[in-house]
Structure 1
Amino acid sequence: MTAVETRTALTVRGLDVRFRLGRRPVRWVRAVSDVDLDLRPGRLLALVGESGCGKSVLTEALTGLLPATAETRGRAEVGEVDLLGADERTLREEVRGRAIGLVGQSAGTFLTPTRTVGSQLRETVRHLGDRTDVADLAARVQLPSAALDLYPHELSGGTAQRVGLAAALAGDPSVLLADEPTAGLDRPLVDHTMDLLAASAHEGRAVLVITHDLRAARRAADDLAVMYASRLVETGPAAEVFADPWHSYTRGLIAALPGEGFTPIPGHPPQLSALPDGCPFRVRSPEHAAVCTDDPTLVSFGERAVACAGGSR
């Protein structure tokens, strides 16, 4: 393994995020529980899991975009910046767009409808103080030059995602966070978007893609992290995890893929406001409960890690 692969661009340790509901009595929603992650330059990490497991909350915590009702614990660092403890000015001037580029789900999340794409990209570059030429930026993400003269409502889904990636790269960040970047796209555009994100990783960036699309993750990911009910249940090199999943939940996700049986996992994930103690998957899967150690803590085995280590393997 090379030095590029072992160096860490963003480190997360023991991250907890919970949301306060109501006042009397106060109830808490545990959205992220005890998460450890390392994003490494030159690699794309896909964070996968069913909707509602806490994946998107993770990116909001890392970029300081959580609502006031959120409470965080743990450590998250990019460069010399403590992301969880940084004030808004530091996040705005040193992190968002500079250290960390954000790729959203749709153009509507980051584009003004009354201005052309080109004018908005040029403004983004000026704001970030970067010398990047917008035409060069467009070429890097395979955005046709004619698209720079279009308004957001004139963009196709795939073109809009390329604009989003261009905006995220405008400040030449070392880390890219992409939250469901293929949502609403057909399969060829999903593949193209994932290929562009993988290319950005191969340029030396650390890329985190949050997705519920395992086919997309399998296509592009170097590393895989599987999340269930606020917790990571398995991590490791993507090719190894897909070839030999250790956790019952990971096996269930893969079995639900077309070509792998197309068999959905029975039942539904628990509500984050009412998570059970111990392993949250055992209450959904009798087969898993029969072998589960009921310990949701990840245990490392070399480059791989798994929860419920005794039974899942």
Structure 2
Amino acid sequence: MTTTTGAPALTVDGLHVAFRLPGATVQAVTDLSLTLHRGELLAVVGESGCGKSVLAHAVLGLLPANATVTGAATLHPDVALIGAGERRLRAVRGRRIGLIPQSPATALTPVRTGRSLLAETLRAHGRPTSDADRIAAEAGLDPGDLDRYPFQLSGGMAQRLATALALAPDPAVLLADEPTAGLDRPLVDHTLDLLRRRCDAGAAVLLITHDLTAAQRVADSVAVMYASRIVEHRPAADLYTTPTHPYAAALLNALPDHAFRPIPGHPPMLTALPTGCAFAPRCPRADTACTEQPALDAGAACHHPLSPAGAT
């Protein structure tokens, strides 16, 4: 893995995303800020429903009409993404910032073969269609399977096709939303290594995953999300050895090769987030100070961060 020394590739500053529903508002992302550098693989981890995928779709302008998005996101050096018009976003999607979708079945045109989709993508970005077989093989897909329609592919094969489509334009920034879903362990490792090689060649990858083991394998840094907020953001080597936020430590302790101990309780509803620390009801260290929202200081948003000794 590399160290974070490259220039900024993507900056997100004070991002808020809310969804208006009849009688309720879902606070999906709250005051989220991060910087992704060239050559860096930044993993965003957390339990399902914490806002990880919404982050990616907000950056790309792919949220439904009932979403309210505020804050800023900049694709360096010159593109302000939040609030940009569809024409402006279409000019950079795929070409400069790509997405591996979480649900490839909904992202693939059912009446087009994989080869047709990949060839169209290559042509649209000025690359030779003869690259299709090579790109498919890089993504772990048998080139012969490109001649099938999406409904003829298994879930894992469809995921690999979606990965190939995202890689085809060779974007400088790649948002990978659960790119290993539906894959067996050898293909999980293959996909992770593929993303790692792209970073080592100078690209920037934001890996969204609930698989902490996968993140540990390839990430330079890790941002832990809980109930719409980042609660810890540190170099991967530091977070995995000495987590500072009690939630990050609890996630690691839930792994089979750690304590294999589940986190008690449940995350709060995103329609009724508390004013203070959202993890407090599940945290043994919580006290009255936790009724106030902690700032993300020294890499962790916690009034009572763990010491290195407590973390281990």
Q: Same fold (TM over 0.5)?
A: yes
Pick closer, same or farther for the CA change 1:10–1:265 going to 2, 3 Å: same
1:100-139 alignment to 2 at 5 Å?
100-131=97-128, 133-139=131-137
Q: 1:291 Cα shift?
A: 7.9
Cα deviation digits, residues 217-264 of structure 1 (max 9, x gap):
111211100000110000011111001100000000000001101101
CA distance, structure 2, for counterparts of residue 189 and residue 171 of structure 1: 22
Is residue 95–residue 169 contact of structure 2 (8 Å, CA) maintained in 1?
yes
Unaligned runs of 5+ in 2: 308-312
Q: Which residue of 1 aligns with 2:52?
A: 55
Pick which of 131-140 and 39-48 moved more. 131-140
CA distance, structure 1, for counterparts of residue 289 and residue 304 of structure 2: 8
1:207-286 alignment to 2 at 5 Å?
207-286=205-284
Is the partner of 2:26 in helix, strand or coil? strand
CA distance, structure 2, for counterparts of residue 183 and residue 272 of structure 1: 24
1:282-293 alignment to 2 at 5 Å?
282-289=280-287, 292=290
Identity among equivalent positions (%) equals 56
Is residue 38–residue 199 contact of structure 2 (8 Å, CA) maintained in 1?
yes
CA RMSD in angstroms, aligned pairs only: 2.3
Match of 1:176 among 171, 174, 179: 174
Unaligned runs of 5+ in 1: none
Q: Which residue of 2 aligns with 1:64?
A: 61
Pick closer, same or farther for the CA change 1:237–1:51 going to 2, 3 Å: same
Quick check: 1:308 aligned with 2:302? Answer: yes
Is residue 14–residue 71 contact of structure 2 (8 Å, CA) maintained in 1?
yes
Q: 1:120 Cα shift?
A: 1.2
Pick closer, same or farther for the CA change 1:291–1:6 going to 2, 3 Å: farther
Is the partner of 1:163 in helix, strand or coil? helix
Q: 1:108 Cα shift?
A: 1.2
Is residue 107–residue 152 contact of structure 1 (8 Å, CA) maintained in 2?
no
Is residue 275–residue 291 contact of structure 2 (8 Å, CA) maintained in 1?
no
Q: 1:279 Cα shift?
A: 0.8
Q: Which residue of 2 aligns with 1:296?
A: 294
Match of 1:83 among 54, 58, 81: 81
Pick closer, same or farther for the CA change 1:107–1:60 going to 2, 3 Å: closer
Is the partner of 1:196 in helix, strand or coil? helix
Q: Which residue of 1 aligns with 2:310?
A: none
Cα deviation digits, residues 102-144 of structure 1 (max 9, x gap):
1013431322233321111001112233346323323433433
Pick closer, same or farther for the CA change 1:108–1:244 going to 2, 3 Å: same
**TM-score, L = length of structure 1:** 0.90
CA distance, structure 1, for counterparts of residue 103 and residue 49 of structure 2: 19
Quick check: 1:167 aligned with 2:165? Answer: yes
Q: 1:292 Cα shift?
A: 4.9
One-letter amino acid of the structure 2 residue matched with residue 70 of structure 1? A
Pick closer, same or farther for the CA change 1:21–1:161 going to 2, 3 Å: closer
Pick closer, same or farther for the CA change 1:84–1:154 going to 2, 3 Å: same
Cα deviation digits, residues 195-217 of structure 1 (max 9, x gap):
22222222221101111111111
Is residue 293–residue 308 contact of structure 1 (8 Å, CA) maintained in 2?
no
Q: 1:20 Cα shift?
A: 1.6
One-letter amino acid of the structure 2 residue matched with residue 201 of structure 1? C
One-letter amino acid of the structure 1 residue matched with residue 114 of structure 2? V
CA distance, structure 1, for counterparts of residue 24 and residue 39 of structure 2: 41
One-letter amino acid of the structure 2 residue matched with residue 101 of structure 1? G
Q: Which residue of 1 aligns with 2:14?
A: 14
Is the partner of 1:109 in helix, strand or coil? helix
**TM-score, L = length of structure 2:** 0.90
CA distance, structure 2, for counterparts of residue 234 and residue 176 of structure 1: 22
Q: 1:29 Cα shift?
A: 1.6
Give the aligned length.
Answer: 305
Is residue 156–residue 181 contact of structure 2 (8 Å, CA) maintained in 1?
no
Is residue 245–residue 251 contact of structure 1 (8 Å, CA) maintained in 2?
yes
